[in-house]
Amino acid sequence: MAQVVAIDGPTAAGKGTLARRLAAELGFAYLDTGLIYRAVAALALALADPPGEAEMLAAAAALTAADLARPGLRTEKIAQWSSRVAAVPAVRAAVKDFQLRFIAAPPDGKPGAVLDGRDIGTVICPDAPAKLFVTASAEARAERRFRELQGRGEPAIYAAVLDDLRDRDRRDSDRAVSPLKPAADAVVLDTTELDAEQAFQKALSIVRGRLAANPKA
């Protein structure tokens, strides 16, 4: 059975960067589950702008692996709609099987999988031997997001980015299905005062320890 590393946390906490680096270091496959919801949001917006629940469900039903490579999935508009899409229970049910198939048979015969999202350790793979909940202060995360947007040449105002981030945190934490929260057995890693390398080294040490303690998981 493939080993699984589950990484959850709010937006702009650095979990995606950590997950990619961990997967490369461990030789595991990597799946950005947030990208799934971004792809569904993009498909839904192509059907109607703004999309309703019917368009969101149609987009989730039509989703393929190729849609994860669609251009424009990292825009702020898609980011905002992805959290709205993710709050629809039927959409979450439609994409859960995609994630479970990835875990059951990681691509290229790799021995494990690293998934990052908001409910990996609590809902998608509650039996994962290694779980991290990566977080940081709202202000630190907003600053990171602001710099990311500026680096891509997108217009951004820090105060607006902070307000949007807090709104998204509320939607993710308050939704009825699969709310954002640490799994009971997850290690919480606060990256507020850590640079990318420090966060990676801490995460790698935690994950290696958990995997070593559960070699057959």
Domains of the chain: which residue ranges?
Answer: 3-207
Dihedral Cα 89, 133, 201, 150, nearest 10 deg: 60
Length reported for the chain = 217
CA 41/CA 18 separation, integer angstroms: 24
For the chain, the distance separating the N- and C-terminal CA atoms, rounded to the nearest angstrom, is 7
Mean pLDDT of the chain: 92
CATH number of the domain located at residue range(s) 3-207 in this protein: 3.40.50.300
């039509």: which residue's tokens? 62
Instruction: Give the confidence band of 177 by pLDDT, cuts at 50, 70, 90.
Output: confident
What does the alpha-carbon distance between residue 94 and residue 56 come to, in Å, rounded to a whole number? 11
Angle at 205 between CA 116 and CA 4, to 5 degrees: 35
Cα 190 from chain centroid (whole Å): 16
Q: How far is CA 147 from CA 72, 141, 153, in A?
A: 18, 10, 10
When mean pLDDT is compared over 42-46, 78-82, 85-89, the highest value belongs to 42-46
pLDDT at 74: 87
Instruction: Give me the pLDDT at residue 205, please.
Output: 97
Mean pLDDT of 90-112: 90
C-alpha pair distances (Å), 17 with each of 20, 106, 114, 115: 5, 19, 12, 12
pLDDT score of 217: 56
- Report the distance separating Cα 23 and Cα 127, nearest Å: 18
For residue 78, is pLDDT > 60?
A: yes
pTM of the model: 0.82
Name the token pair of 46: 């192509």
Other CB atoms within a 10 A radius of the CB of residue 39 amount to: 25
